[in-house]
Amino acid sequence: MKLWHKFLMVPLMAGTILGMQPQATEASSFALIKYQANLTAQISKTQAWKETFTTPDGKISVQIRSMLAADDKGRYHVIIWRDNDRVHEEYLPEVTYGYWFRAVRDEENDKTFFVIASREQAKLYGYDAAAGKMQVYVDSRNFHSGVPRGEANITPLTDGSLVLSFENFDNVEPKSHRYDLEWDAESNWVTYTDLGTGFQPVMREMQYP
């Protein structure tokens, strides 16, 4: 029998997101708003990819553009606005299989999250009204993959759950390692439960447009 442990993820310092404290949470129910696969293929050298979402926190716009000349900062420039205010930006490296994007709504807590992911790394973002900025609530690099050569993904499933999974995308054996993600309105942060390994490939259960 697997023991499930719910933990609150709080930022300890820049670049660190896991502070493990037992925490009770109310159940979330996640629905896919937008899914853009092969995002890198949509970004030309002269035109950016951009989407705008109406959320309880205002209009959130996400833009990803290719750098004409990649330098040590990275190949792609990510900018996120809330209404007319720039609330987040970062640079992403070029990766072999490109990036994909998801917008996800927690229907129980009326909160919108955004996922930018590659096989190497997956991040979950959300606007924090108290801090006045976008937060990186989940970074897959702060989690143990539990699978040899585990590749990251964050996606809502057909049962309404949101999971961070690690698996070898080229191997269909049931070895996926999953973490269940929940929004904790009281702490204003994301909690996780380590569900362990042995799951089927997440693509068989993930929500599609």
State which residues form the domain around 120. 28-41+96-204
Would you say residue 186 lies in a domain? yes
Give the pLDDT score at 5. 46
Other CB atoms within 10 A of residue 203 CB: 14
Other CB atoms within 10 A of residue 21 CB: 11
Distance CA 154, CA 57 (A): 22
Would you say residue 191 lies in a domain? yes
Q: What is the mean pLDDT of each run of 10 residues along the chain (209 residues)?
A: 45 40 66 93 79 97 84 80 96 90 97 96 97 96 90 97 93 84 95 94 93
Distance CA 17, CA 201 (A): 26
* Total domains in the fold of the chain: 1
Would you say residue 55 lies in a domain? no
Would you say residue 101 lies in a domain? yes
Contacting residues for 65 by C-beta, under 8 A, at least 6 apart: 43, 47, 48, 49, 76, 77, 79
Instruction: Give the phi and the psi of residue 203 in degrees, each rounded to 5.
Output: -65, -20
Other CB atoms within 10 A of residue 99 CB: 27
Distance CA 91, CA 75 (A): 7
Give the pLDDT score at 162. 98
Would you say residue 134 lies in a domain? yes
Give the pLDDT score at 19. 46
